[in-house]
Amino acid sequence: MTNEGVWIVGAGGLARGAVDLLQRAGRPVAGLVTIDLSGHEWFDGPIVLESAFRRRTTQTTAVIAIGDTGRRLGAAVGLQAAMPLLRFATLIDPEAVVARSAEIGEGTILMARATVAPQARVGRHVVIYTGAIIEHDSIVDDFASLAPGAVLGGGVKVGEASFIGLGAMVSHGVSIGCDTVVGMASGVTQDLPANVVAVGTPAHVIRTRSRGETFL
């Protein structure tokens, strides 16, 4: 692993987790990138506004630590367009477990005790929170998130920018569409379409949602 410093884009709870992950992995944190310079007393390194960060013309490594999937997607697209030399780091906690045959995309964050089983594929800029499990042959598309304790059975498909809530479980072979939110502790036993919010066990759709609609 390189010792190049990594910029953390974001300044909320996920950003704090990313800073801790990097420090425990022995990799330096270059600083925080945020839209507001106030309220970040917890961090003792450099803090820069995103507008200034976008003007950097040197090779830069960053990770987008924004919990909301739609905002994470927007930040990635905007930064990549503004910064041709930007590279995205992939952060894997020392306590995470990743099978040798699993695939992890760039910009993805795996927190402590996250598990990615054999033949599973995790896309770009995905966040797998503490203790979440992705079983064999499952696919998690770009910008999706699994909250702490979420579990995907084997052969599950989670669409782009979807969110699987705290402690939710998804049965083997189930597909979840893009931009869908599964509520906390839900049990998903059948396929879910794109752009919906689903809760309960078995999970049922309670409403539709628009692409990029904020939920965190």
- Determine the Cα–Cα distance for residues 74 and 85; give it in Å rounded to an integer: 18
Pairing of strands 86-88, 103-104: unpaired
Neighbouring-strand partners of residue 61: 87
CB within 8 A of 37, min separation 6: which ones?
47, 49
- Determine the Cα–Cα distance for residues 11 and 17; give it in Å rounded to an integer: 10
Helical (H) or strand (E) element with 62: strand 60-64
Instruction: Give yes or no for a contact between 89 and 30, defined as CB atoms under 8 angstroms apart.
Output: no
Catalytic annotation, pick one of 40, 125, 136, 204: 136
Neighbouring-strand partners of residue 64: 9
User: Is 136 one of the catalytic residues?
Assistant: yes
44: its two tokens: 């003792």
Rg (CA), the chain: 17
Residues serving a catalytic function are: 136
